[in-house]
Structure 1
């Protein structure tokens, strides 16, 4: 099981911070009877937002919302232009100052650097824009399929090692509309505890039974599989119509690689289908960028459904499902994301095609191989240096996603603001996106970062880390506390 070691004092201080938040926030609500944001609710109608969402928005998120949704005025390259904002009502309203800060970008998913102007991709995209326009203004089954869509589906299927593929216009919708098309009542989805929200939405919409297994723990997955097969469907105890195990290649909030070989072996043993979400791993890991299967030596033929997005490594939009020809033919007939949603934009499709050709060396250069080598070197170097300075960093080698644990909610805003003052743009994350105790800053490394960029970032993170006290293990000793399902322990 994945383990996180939390220092005793940090855990207690974090709980105490949230306790104060709930106590003082609750007292203020008692005196006010109802919050200002609900004054416009018509008489007799309930408020739209749930009580906790309302409380969380007012008492925590609003107070630090300047750390989120920062407007960007440039391409998400290694350096970005961030528009500065101010508030004169305690962060309830934010106004743009008109000033721009040039910041080192440690938050975007631009893993291979294709999201900015590229010498090969950009001219091709401009040509496609002139020929096909910005949008097809139609779903795929009407007038939304161009020759570019067909070309991309052939290319991506070949790239990931599958017979066929289907391209969607939105990455989130790829999961949330594919799962309901694959399984329904009488079926069972077994999902990793930390799977992305799009997988959760698709699982809930499918109408099938959903079981959860402990994050990245094959032994617990086997227990769940054995029990599910032995007991069958609820009440009737009939055999399940089908079982799908859903995992991610790289978990976006953890930076961890899926234990794919073990999970595939279990799926084969118990005759369950394997659904692999490679949103953060396709193009980012593996010698030739083909994702987790290539990195861990798993035969793509052993993965029944391969999902990925073009919003990270390829610098575009949309997503894909790759699998057997029968699977793709079925999805084209029943998937709402294909039948009803507007198709992926032609320039977006061309961007992915061009990026794939660079990765494969079909542009006549070796830039693709250089980018893949650089993202791996940058990621491993940055992770090692963060650990040396005493930060607690989650994730595995080769992963470009590396969360730095903050824990205390006050450190979410402090770390973000102090980094921004020093022209470093970072993404900080807290509850409800993570567990209450596990707030973090999520660093995303790019092939477009130079060694000088990374050294500058490390210098700032070290300085800010001393200010906000997040160097929890400067001597390498990990004395902590066992906490809930995360198995936080001391050793």
Structure 2
């Protein structure tokens, strides 16, 4: 549960209310001028943006858009080159310059450091590029499957502990395209309230009934399952054709680890399928990097559908679904991401295969184990030090996702810009991605970060935290926990 100080809550609401009033006044004056100078050129066209969406973009987002979409010109390693931008029209548009800043990277998902040149992976990726070219220029169902794709699917299935796997060229599409294939009308999806947008869109596109349980709360999930089974389908009260419970291994905006053992036990009792999204947990947690199942000692046989992405720990792109042979064969016959999308780029596939070999020690070294130990050590050190400094930090230990609460919308650009002045690049997140009161900076820790990098980042964040006023609690207070539906003030 997040404990929000009264001062932070009041100032946040005040900023939003005053910004809304000021924006409405500006819009009224602008509309008055437009009406006075009206022409017939735009008559008959509906607005591209809805009223509130356009209002938010004009009066909130544009004021801080320089904090988002910052271009880089080097690999996303522990340090990277960030291209500087300037604006001559009050931040409405940003123009790139030829100047670059060397910044400490606290925003990329490069958890194991594979996104830069690697002594084992890079030569093999280059060789695959020479042998296969960049793209197959075909779908997997046509002429797009190669021996390398088959090797990748086997490597992924073996790594996560399943019998078979299917890979796609984009992680987001893995959820949004496969969920509608797995379930449809007459089915029930029970989703964690803080699941990723790709899961939400996939669930909506399936046509199934969707119910949401309180974030990471197995007791609420059990109550929801029991009531749903007793009542049956809406209106007809017939039994559900299928029930799928969808959770994430590590929640990307909270840094919390799923309570998977309890959730699996409940799903066994009520005969519901378990769909586990391990985008941020595969390759980062567990003794050998096999994710939340290994960390929490859950048999992978009890998880029916295991999903993950290659864009984080493996330094590549795409996603996968792992499960039974029958499930994967069915997906290859029906999944749009396999039937209609170009198959994964071959160098990207080789990068994943090579990185898995390093993680497992099949490259003949212990670098994989060292990377896994390093990302865990770095994450726990950074989290504990932030808490000692007085920041409100979300998430669990061992998680490389470390959110720092900002709350007030004016502190979002202030925190981001001041960190950048000290050559520390951070990612900030605000409404509508998070609720209005819960804006945050999301720190992503990598095995590529050295101890000196950690110390520098902490020094800068501490200075900026004092400057913008986000050290909300004394260090001795217990670490707050996030529950979306319960927010208290203190």
The answer on 1:489 being equivalent to 2:488 is: yes
CA contact (8 A) 2:387 2:479 kept: no
How far 1:40 sits from its partner (Å)?
11
Distance 1:252 1:34, change over 3 A: farther
Q: Aligned partners of 1:484 and 1:134: how far apart in 2?
A: 44
**What count of residue pairs does the alignment treat as equivalent?**
487
Q: Aligned partners of 2:53 and 2:477: how far apart in 1?
A: 38
Q: Aligned partners of 1:21 and 1:252: how far apart in 2?
A: 29
CA contact (8 A) 2:2 2:483 kept: no
The answer on 1:62 being equivalent to 2:51 is: no
Instruction: Name the structure 2 match of 1:271.
Output: 271
CA contact (8 A) 2:393 2:479 kept: no
Instruction: Name the structure 2 match of 1:460.
Output: 460
Instruction: Name the structure 2 match of 1:11.
Output: 9
How far 1:27 sits from its partner (Å)?
1.1
Name the SS of the counterpart of 2:376 in structure 1.
helix
Name the SS of the counterpart of 1:211 in structure 2.
strand
> Greater shift after overlay, 24-33 or 115-124?
24-33
Q: What are the equivalent positions in structure 2 for 1:164-203 lying under 5 Å apart?
A: 164-203=164-203
CA contact (8 A) 2:215 2:484 kept: no
CA contact (8 A) 2:394 2:482 kept: no
Name the SS of the counterpart of 2:98 in structure 1.
strand
The answer on 1:135 being equivalent to 2:139 is: no
How far 1:353 sits from its partner (Å)?
0.2
CA contact (8 A) 1:168 1:174 kept: yes
TM-score (norm 1): 0.97
CA contact (8 A) 1:483 1:489 kept: no
CA contact (8 A) 1:114 1:355 kept: yes
How far 1:486 sits from its partner (Å)?
3.2
CA contact (8 A) 1:412 1:439 kept: yes
Name the SS of the counterpart of 2:487 in structure 1.
coil
Instruction: Name the structure 2 match of 1:31.
Output: 29
Distance 1:13 1:479, change over 3 A: farther
Q: Aligned partners of 1:160 and 1:272: how far apart in 2?
A: 21
The answer on 1:300 being equivalent to 2:300 is: yes
The answer on 1:338 being equivalent to 2:338 is: yes
Q: Aligned partners of 1:130 and 1:268: how far apart in 2?
A: 48
Q: Aligned partners of 2:483 and 2:79: how far apart in 1?
A: 39
CA contact (8 A) 1:307 1:322 kept: yes
> Greater shift after overlay, 271-280 or 227-236?
227-236
The answer on 1:324 being equivalent to 2:312 is: no
- RMSD (Å), alpha carbons: 1.9
Q: Aligned partners of 2:6 and 2:187: how far apart in 1?
A: 43
How far 1:143 sits from its partner (Å)?
1.1
How far 1:478 sits from its partner (Å)?
7.2
> Greater shift after overlay, 237-246 or 219-228?
219-228
Name the SS of the counterpart of 1:267 in structure 2.
helix
Q: Aligned partners of 1:115 and 1:325: how far apart in 2?
A: 31
**Long gaps (5+) in structure 2:** none
